[in-house]
Structures are given as structure tokens and as C-alpha cells.
């Protein structure tokens, strides 16, 4: 075998790139150095509440059956299943944003949209108002408006990209929604600062 053939066999060509990920040996890996996610600061509390409710249901049901003497394996499995269903119903959706992306993580699925390439932004009414977003690739995402108004950092990240989409001429609607959300975020922030100031004054007086 000549040196030229050895060189051809031993040469390593450039790695292919697919969807923002490089390929090594046929396996994809995520690039390092991606911007961190800014997430809902209330999510951990909401998750703890969901777990607590499910645990309380299970404990109370087992305790009542135990006192009545009717607790057995099938009934224990029944109460466990109901507790799992309750947690699934109460499991909070986690919302996060980073430059160019907004993502929601559910119990089973996750949804992502390119916030710097949005073409549609609408808000639904009802008991729990939600923000509906759609990007140029057709990806859709729905998140609670209250999550954005309660998280100024999350809203700021999203607002920056929304204005980019508007400046590029992609997002032609939703200006009223943006103004209304911005006013809500400012109001929530001012109320939070006022509450903190009141608490500090009470501590000094005590």
C-alpha cells in the first residue's frame, strides 16, 4: 500500500453540520456555549405545590382506609394512581427564553418558536389569558400571559426579539398586545418594589 493511499484513508474530512449540531461518527452533539435560558422564577414553587397536593391526597386516602381497616393492595394502587393523575393535571408548564427562542416544557412535550422570526402574535381571553405565537417555520407556542408579567427578565428577553421581528417586517400585528403587556409588566414591577419598600419600613420600625 502506497503512502498516498494511506494518506487518503487516514485523512479526516470536515465534520458535517445539521440543524446547528456537528456530527461525530454519525452521532450528533449540541454545541457548547449556547446562551442560558431565562426561566419562570415561580415554576419551582408551582411544582412543589403540585407535588404537595398529590402527596396529601395519597397520604389522607391511605390513612382513612387504614383507620377503617379497608386498606389492601388494590385500593393502595387505586389511590396511588389517582395521586399520579392529580399531579399530571397540576403539573406546571415551564417557560424559558434566550436570544432568538421561546420554549415551554410540559410534562410530556416541549414547544419552541423563533422569537426573532415571528409572524403572528395574539392574545386569548378567558379565565387564563394566553399569548399565542407563530414563527416563519410554522412552529406555534402558547404561554400564559401571567408568566410574562410576573417575570420582568423573561419579558425583557422576549420583548427584545419581538421588536426585532417587527423591525424586519415579519410581525405586522400585535402592537397593541405588546403595549398592554409592557404596561402590565411595569405595573407588576412597581407593585413588587412598593411591597418590598413597605416591608423594609416595617422591619426598621420594629
Residues across the chain = 206
What are residue 130's DSSP bridge partners?
A: 124, 144
Cα dihedral 107→151→158→167 (10° resolution): 150
Q: Give the per-residue pLDDT at 50.
A: 96
- Chunked in runs of 10, what are the mean pLDDT values of the chain (206 residues)? 43 42 38 76 94 97 94 95 96 94 93 93 85 93 90 89 89 80 78 61 59
Q: Give the per-residue pLDDT at 198.
A: 59
Q: Give the per-residue pLDDT at 47.
A: 96
Q: Give the per-residue pLDDT at 173.
A: 78
Q: Give the per-residue pLDDT at 35.
A: 84
126 grid coordinates: 378567558
SS3 of 33-61: CCCCCEECCCHHHHHHHHHHHHHHHHHHH
- 143 burial type by CB count under 10 A (0-12 exposed, 13-18 middle, 19+ buried): buried
Positive or negative, the CA dihedral 113, 116, 122, 124 is: positive
Amino acid at each position: 500500500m502506497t503512502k498516498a493511499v494511506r494518506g487518503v484513508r487516514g485523512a479526516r474530512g470536515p465534520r458535517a453540520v445539521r440543524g446547528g449540531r456537528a456530527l461525530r461518527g454519525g452521532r450528533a452533539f449540541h454545541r457548547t456555549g449556547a446562551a442560558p435560558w431565562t426561566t419562570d422564577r415561580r415554576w419551582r414553587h408551582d411544582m412543589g405545590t403540585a407535588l404537595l397536593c398529590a402527596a396529601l391526597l395519597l397520604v389522607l386516602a391511605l390513612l382513612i382506609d387504614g383507620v377503617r381497616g379497608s386498606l389492601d393492595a388494590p385500593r393502595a394502587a387505586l389511590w396511588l394512581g389517582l395521586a399520579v393523575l392529580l399531579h399530571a393535571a397540576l403539573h406546571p408548564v415551564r417557560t424559558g427564553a434566550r436570544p432568538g427562542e421561546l420554549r415551554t416544557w410540559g410534562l410530556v412535550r416541549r414547544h419552541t418558536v423563533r422569537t426573532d422570526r415571528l409572524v403572528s402574535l395574539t392574545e386569548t381571553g378567558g379565565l387564563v389569558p394566553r399569548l399565542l405565537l407563530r414563527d416563519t417555520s410554522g412552529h406555534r407556542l402558547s404561554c400564559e400571559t401571567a408568566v410574562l408579567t410576573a417575570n420582568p427578565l423573561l419579558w425583557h428577553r422576549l420583548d427584545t426579539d419581538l421588536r426585532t421581528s417587527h423591525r424586519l417586517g415579519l410581525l405586522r400585528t400585535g402592537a397593541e398586545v405588546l403595549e398592554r403587556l409592557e404596561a402590565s409588566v411595569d405595573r407588576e414591577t412597581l407593585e413588587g418594589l412598593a411591597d418590598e419598600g413597605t416591608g423594609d419600613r416595617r422591619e426598621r420600625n420594629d
